[in-house]
């Protein structure tokens, strides 16, 4: 948001801030969300180049809707599932580490 728009909103009584401030998240919670989202986005990019959601679901003994949720950052998906899915696409632990490092 540009500074002029921010100032107009604040003059009208609106409070402008971040999602983390609005939800009162700790820095650790914010970082965890950023990591999960980075893993989700990377999983989707990798999977789209290699296979369908159904094929990935079969590889990880899961379902296509679960893979879709994983790729879309659904809060119900664990980091463990994201990592297992990434490994099933051929990602190395080093590549997964790079995704995590870039998220923070």
* CA geometry: angle 33, 37, 40, nearest 5 deg: 140
Whole-model pTM? Answer: 0.79
Q: What is the DSSP string of 12-55?
A: TT-----HHHHHT--HHHHHHHHHHHHHHHHHHHHHHHH--HHH
Question: How confident is the model over 41-78, as pLDDT tens digits?
Answer: 999 999 999 999 999 999 999 999 999 999 999 999 99
Where exactly are the structural domains of the chain? 25-103
Q: 59: which DSSP letter?
A: H
Question: How confident is the model over 11-22, as pLDDT tens digits?
Answer: 988 888 777 777
Q: CB under 8 Å to 33, separation ≥6 — which residues?
A: 25
Pick the CATH number of 25-103 from 1.10.260.40, 3.60.15.10, 1.20.140.10, 1.20.950.20: 1.10.260.40
């Amino acid at each position: 948001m540009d500074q002029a728009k921010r100032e107009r909103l604040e003059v009208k009584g609106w409070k402008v801030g971040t999602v983390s401030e609005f939800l009162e998240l700790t820095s650790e919670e914010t970082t965890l969300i950023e990591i999960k989202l980075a893993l989700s986005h990377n999983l989707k990019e990798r999977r789209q180049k290699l296979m369908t959601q159904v094929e990935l679901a079969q590889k990880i003994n899961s379902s296509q809707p679960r893979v879709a949720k994983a790729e879309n950052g659904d809060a119900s998906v664990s980091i463990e599932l994201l990592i297992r899915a990434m490994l099933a696409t051929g990602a190395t632990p080093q590549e997964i580490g790079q995704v995590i490092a870039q998220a923070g």
